[in-house]
Structure 1
Amino acid sequence: MSKDYRRIAEGILQGIGGKENLVQAAHCVTRLRLVLKDEGKVDADKLQKVELVKGHFTNAGVFQIVIGPNEVEKVYKEFVELAGVETATVSDVKEVGAKKLNPFQRLIKTFSDVFMPILPAIITAGLLMGINNLIGAEGLFIEDKSLLEAYPDLQGLWDLINTMANTAFVFLPAIVGWSAAKRFGGSEILGIVLGLLLVHPDLLNAWNYGKAAAGIEGEIPYFDILGLFQIEKVGYQGQILPVFVAAYVLSVVEKWLKKRVPNAIQLLVVPITTIVITGGLALAVIGPVTRHLGDLLTQGIVMIYDAAPAVGALLFGSLYAPLVITGMHHMFIAVDLQLITQNGGTFIWPMIALSNIAQGSAALAMFWVAKNANEKSMASTSALSAYFGITEPAMFGVNLRHKFPFYAALTGSALGAVFISLNGVLAPAIGVGGLPAFISIMVQHIPMFLVGMAIVLIVPFVLTILFHHIGKKRTQKSPA
């Protein structure tokens, strides 16, 4: 049955205190993102009763209403027409909402703004890499053989997929350079050029830098600048921090020049000056310093993980979903990529995938116990969404509303995270954080990851049903 999106938009507008309380409106994949004059005027009960509204929360100064994929666009179209406001982008809304944030929240928001646009490229690369790993895994499908060995005709396809999978990681600084320059207000094309500079083939491959620095293989080449000083000819393939900081510097330099260079010669002067200054700083100062900081960060995380994997996993599995509410989870993308670059795999992303599945399992259990048709519909669609990596509908529309499913999901997530951490499960890339996640796990770790998946499928489901029945019995026993 088709939905009355006009009526839904009217209900939302009334729930937020009317169009007089609305400053700006945008939408993402699953949520309406609103800047309100006074969030105290929001009628939470009225808002929650609106069809399709699965929950609401405030993050980074923006009031967000969870609707769900596809339908959010239809609701948004009617909403802006009724409210009489201009359509806006998520970036526009975030910029207005950012004025309410403290410095730490602004840092988290900056990471989110830079990494969210490039996530599809990273996930696509991760999935393709996972498919290639399955094709090349020895003994996974055929005893003592890989599919490549059994069917040599697959070699060409394997090579092609491998090239596609590696592209996003090999040229990751260019992708980040584009997104970061856009976020910091610089020229996006110069951000790409800066990122490509950091992975130029004339520079020593970042993966061989360690061997040269340790004297194991070859020597570190240098640019000799007029006999005054030397700059290492070292690339930063797969690294995040160098290009992230360099793109910020590029944007500052470019904006400074544009204010001072006459319009008639800007095209001639600004781009070349910006690239020469920023490129030199990136190779001479920013790259070496941020690489060292990235190494320290990675070593620190790995050291903690090695010292107490069960404790770290227990905390991460329990806290990741609450971090999603605050938006802090976006920072883990950078940490994952740093771990993959330096250690060849990340132990964080597999735990994130299990956390998403756990939220879906708790929502699925609510579908099982719910009596109301609308609640059943919301729980089933939200569970399916979470099983494919989008957890907001399940978290805000089902689990947090009833509380006990959310706690059940956190319990299952923590247990699953502890199990896979104790078994050393790693992912060589970031994939879809749900049921398809096993594709992006290192082949030798897939069996243990599947056991972890079984834990987060079963435990939250069973606990949610138990909590529901316990709560139901207490309600029946309580005096009228």
Structure 2
Amino acid sequence: MKCVGTLPLLMRYMGTLPQHESLLYQILIKKFCGGIKMKSNNYYEAAQDILKYIGGPDNITSAAHGATRLRLVLKDQKLVNKEELEKLDIVKGVFLNGGQFQIIIGQGTVNKVYAELTNIAGIKEMSTAEVKQEASKNLNAIQKLAKLLSDIFVPIIPAIVAAGLLMGLLGLAGKFGLEEYSGTWWWMMLDMFSSAAFNFLPILVAISAAKVFGCNTFLAATVAGIMIHPSLQNAWTQGTGYETIKVLGMIDMPLLGYQGTVLPILLVIFVMSYIEKGTRKIVPEILDILLTPLITVLLTGFLALAVIGPAANVIGAGISTFLTFAIDKLGIIAGLLFGGAYSSIVITGIHHSFHAVELNLLAETGVNTLLPIWAMANVAQGGACFAAFLLTKNKKMKAIALPSAISTLFGITEAAIFGVNLRYKTPFIGAAIGGAVGGAYVVAMKVGMTAVGVTGIPGIAITNSTSMFNYIIGMVIAIAVAFVATMMMGVKEEAA
């Protein structure tokens, strides 16, 4: 099968994990595609064509490149001729993400095209970080909030996934009657390993949030440590019954820790960033190293325990109660709505902000009831994409559709959504129907998960032991319904 850019499309998923992108892409592209080769004079022509279809040099605000993609910030997105861009042999896919117009070209080629493009356009070369900063200026308030939450929570997902997988292993061991080994050294170690990320979750969030809010990460970690200090009751392991102490004669401060919580530490570090920056402005430079950390920790620590933490706990509990109520009372209807709408939310990129909500659910209820619904929506994209593979007569689209459909089984949906289903439109509608039906099923069966960020087949490992069978059935239903719905609607070749 001729390589026509399937792998670069699949690599879009790795956009939030740039450390993996280059190595994995290089291995796969060499194995399956034999590399991408061009004559040197063609790089100039390719750059000219790209410039022509993005509105010319004057439409570029900034430009950079990653391992596989050109990353452009454009003045006017309406000037882009996306259809003509996608027809270029060198272009393997285009999409808008986080205010950046990204053009997938490929490893070893993108840097040469970029060099020609910047030379022709007369613009300076920039880093991807600089382009991201420039792109953020074009986002609306909701997109900026979603990006902020994504920047904070995506980096800590590996730790949560590891903890969730270990919880899943312990759950499976219990299901198969191995509780008798709960006193052994290996069981005790697995139990500690599985709960560590949740017990110290405020510290993980604090470090990540400090980088985003621009404050000292070590001071942030210290404040998070105050919020989970052993002197406070451990809310993660000992429940929510707690004592209070009178502060300043008027504030009843709960002697309750914030283990496993997300919203309290997020708001605390946001406030801390202003306290630290404000203190640094008024403290003499010679005393900065002494007074700024002291004042920051004192003020933030007090506000965290006496004001922000308790208030944020109430808000977090309210969010969890609302979602739990919606799923419990609305049941199938909630599953239909959430499962059907999720893929449309993915297009906007706002779905990354859901990690905060899911972590809050885990902290409050001990189970993530949203992720199974998202998982159904994801695999439904694969069912619809496979139907498109069978229906289309376009050889290039066939080459993209089959591996893209398979990738959804492992939680990678962007290739199917942006590369196939949205182009034909009807497969995307079919996937929404499949996601809705699958979502309704997992809600009806009360399927729950123990972590965030993992869907498809890998998601089985973080599914509650009592829910595992129904999770698999739900995936089969979502895929089948999406496939049948798309086959019934068909695809129009001109739509792609």
Give the alignment's TM-score, normalised by structure 2.
0.82
Matched residue type, 1:178: I
Q: Cα gap change, 1:188/1:80 in structure 2, threshold over 3 Å: closer, same or farther?
A: farther
Q: Deviations over 1:121-156 (max 9, x none)?
A: 222322232233223323xxxxxx34x65xx59954
Separation of aligned partners in 2, 1:163 and 1:32: 44
* 1:83 corresponding residue in structure 2: 117
Structure 2 residue 74 is the aligned partner of structure 1 residue 36: yes
Q: Deviations over 1:30-89 (max 9, x none)?
A: 865431122222111121123475654445433244x4xxx7565553454333343433
Separation of aligned partners in 2, 1:28 and 1:123: 26
Q: Which runs of 5+ in 1 are unaligned?
A: 139-144, 214-219, 476-480
Q: Cα gap change, 1:209/1:166 in structure 2, threshold over 3 Å: closer, same or farther?
A: closer
Structure 2 residue 131 is the aligned partner of structure 1 residue 93: yes
* Superposition deviation, residue 375 in structure 1: 2.0
Correspondence 1:41-440 to 2 at 5 A:
41-51=79-89, 53=91, 55-65=93-103, 67=104, 74=108, 76-84=110-118, 85-89=124-128, 92-138=130-176, 145-146=177-178, 149=180, 152=181, 155-207=184-236, 210-213=239-242, 220=243, 222=245, 231-440=253-462
* Superposition deviation, residue 327 in structure 1: 1.8
Separation of aligned partners in 2, 1:93 and 1:221: 49
Q: Deviations over 1:74-111 (max 9, x none)?
A: 55534543333434335x43432332333333222222
* Superposition deviation, residue 415 in structure 1: 0.5
* Superposition deviation, residue 206 in structure 1: 1.5
Matched residue type, 1:128: L
* 1:3 corresponding residue in structure 2: 36
* Superposition deviation, residue 230 in structure 1: 5.7
Higher mean C-alpha deviation, range 298-307 or range 128-137: 128-137
Matched residue type, 2:340: S
Separation of aligned partners in 2, 1:286 and 1:343: 21
Q: Cα gap change, 1:369/1:114 in structure 2, threshold over 3 Å: closer, same or farther?
A: same
Q: Percent identity?
A: 39
Kept in 2: contact 1:135–1:158 (CA 8 A)? no
Separation of aligned partners in 2, 1:153 and 1:162: 9
* Superposition deviation, residue 411 in structure 1: 0.9
Separation of aligned partners in 2, 1:381 and 1:179: 34
Q: Cα gap change, 1:383/1:253 in structure 2, threshold over 3 Å: closer, same or farther?
A: same
Higher mean C-alpha deviation, range 405-414 or range 376-385: 376-385
Kept in 1: contact 2:244–2:252 (CA 8 A)? no
Separation of aligned partners in 1, 2:112 and 2:193: 40
Matched residue type, 1:242: P
* Superposition deviation, residue 174 in structure 1: 0.8
Separation of aligned partners in 2, 1:156 and 1:270: 45
Separation of aligned partners in 1, 2:51 and 2:470: 48
Separation of aligned partners in 1, 2:483 and 2:318: 40
Q: Cα gap change, 1:454/1:155 in structure 2, threshold over 3 Å: closer, same or farther?
A: farther
Matched residue type, 2:211: K
Higher mean C-alpha deviation, range 379-388 or range 243-252: 379-388
Matched residue type, 2:167: M
Give the alignment's TM-score, normalised by structure 1.
0.85
Q: Cα gap change, 1:176/1:211 in structure 2, threshold over 3 Å: closer, same or farther?
A: closer
Kept in 2: contact 1:206–1:234 (CA 8 A)? yes
Kept in 2: contact 1:55–1:393 (CA 8 A)? no
Separation of aligned partners in 2, 1:16 and 1:334: 36
Higher mean C-alpha deviation, range 426-435 or range 387-396: 426-435
Q: Cα gap change, 1:25/1:201 in structure 2, threshold over 3 Å: closer, same or farther?
A: farther
* 2:54 corresponding residue in structure 1: 16
Partner SS, residue 384 of structure 1: helix
* Superposition deviation, residue 284 in structure 1: 0.7
* Superposition deviation, residue 211 in structure 1: 4.5
Kept in 2: contact 1:27–1:73 (CA 8 A)? no
Partner SS, residue 177 of structure 1: helix
Kept in 2: contact 1:204–1:221 (CA 8 A)? no
Q: How many residues align?
A: 452
Separation of aligned partners in 2, 1:455 and 1:50: 38
Separation of aligned partners in 2, 1:28 and 1:129: 36
Partner SS, residue 467 of structure 2: helix
* 1:141 corresponding residue in structure 2: none
Q: Cα gap change, 1:108/1:439 in structure 2, threshold over 3 Å: closer, same or farther?
A: same
Separation of aligned partners in 2, 1:48 and 1:338: 41
Q: Alpha carbon RMSD of aligned pairs, Å?
A: 3.0
Matched residue type, 2:397: E
Q: Cα gap change, 1:93/1:390 in structure 2, threshold over 3 Å: closer, same or farther?
A: farther
Matched residue type, 1:312: A
Separation of aligned partners in 2, 1:53 and 1:127: 38
Separation of aligned partners in 2, 1:325 and 1:27: 22
